Amino acid sequence: MLYVLGFIFVILGPFLGGLLSGVDRVFSARMQRRQGPPLLQPFADYAKFMQKKAYIINGLQTFLITGHLIFVILAGWILYAGQDILLSIFSLTLSEMFLCMAAFSASAPYSNMSAQRELLQMACTEPMLLMIAIGFYLSSGSFMVTDIVAQKTPAIIHVPGFFLGFLVILVVELRKSPFDVSTSHHAHQEMVKGVTTDITGSLMGIVELSEWYEYFLMFSYVALYFVSSNPLSLLVGILMGCLVMFLMTLIDNTFPRVRWERMLSVCWATTLIFAGGNLLLLTLLKMF
């Protein structure tokens, strides 16, 4: 039964993710007092990339980009099929590694430089992503998603610190900030187009597709903090997911020029303070 839910994610994930990214772009435009693109613009972009000619640099690139897509789907499937959340996070990391390697495989300097910075970015987000799994374990006593959603009280009650830490890295994970690393949809990036600089045509379409999956996956991680055995909590989860996505757009528009040095210090500091503090507190509470 749960496996079916996983497959529903595989089918619906990109639509919802693409919609999220469309809403994000419209809100972003409104925050800048612009009218903004149509809501379905991300789908138009995708359709365009699929119709354009692809200049494929080497045979490896196709393989790596496909790997990127497959592992991000797997990460979502694992989550929705109620399996081990740790595995889901590892799969997500692997998929990002694939994208990074695709960028390294091109000989263009911008592509290589962005890949290096993408690695830095991963160094910032990975500790916290692992902490998320630990947080869920502390609150529910299990890494299985089926157990996490079966708790009496939602995870946010036990591990609010982990959630706050997650919010900070979410900005980086969704490629909103910092501007000199991320491959976002803004013009005038320092790194041209980040890791996707040398990816063209249908391959770029696949990257966009995996981005939507990732969007929806992140949305689901956020919602997971609010879901408990009470069915109504699902509604709260979805609501909070939307709210957090709005917050991400707001943060992106408020701090458009964060640099990667800043990202390093902020991400690690918040991981240490929020997640570490929460961990310490839980341990102390258990002792007494």
For another protein, the binding residues (CB under 8 A) are 25, 29, 32-38, 41, 43-45, 47-48, 51-55, 185, 187-189, 192-193, 196-201, 204
Q: How far is the CB of 254 from another protein (least distance, A)?
A: 16
Shorter beta-carbon distance to another protein: residue 110 or 163: 110
In the complex with another protein, the residue whose CB is nearer, 192 or 247, is 192
Shortest Å, Cβ 129 to another protein: 28
Q: Which helix (H) or strand (E) holds 223?
A: helix 201-224
Of 2 and 44, the one with the shorter C-beta distance to another protein is: 44
Q: Which residue has the tokens 């374990």?
A: 137
Nearer to another protein, 82 or 205 (CB): 205
Alpha helices in 52-144 (DSSP H): 59-80, 85-105, 109-140
- Least Å distance between CB 236 and another protein? 33
Q: Kind and range of the H or E element at 2?
A: helix 2-31
Tell me how far, at minimum, the Cβ of 25 lies from another protein, in Å. 8
Distance from C-alpha of 105 to C-alpha of 198, rounded to nearest angstrom? 10
Q: Which is nearer to another protein, 187 or 284 (CB)?
A: 187
Which of 69, 76, 127, 120 has its CA nearest to residue 99?
69
Structure tokens at 253: 């528009």
* Contact assessment for residue 102 and residue 68, using Cβ atoms and an 8 Å cutoff: yes
Nearest-approach distance from CB 73 to another protein, in angstroms: 23
Number of other residues whose CB lies within 10 A of the CB of residue 256? 14
In angstroms, the Cα distances linking 216 to 90, 237, 267 are 17, 13, 22
Q: In angstroms, give the least distance from the CB of 201 to another protein.
A: 6
CB closer to another protein out of 88 and 184: 184
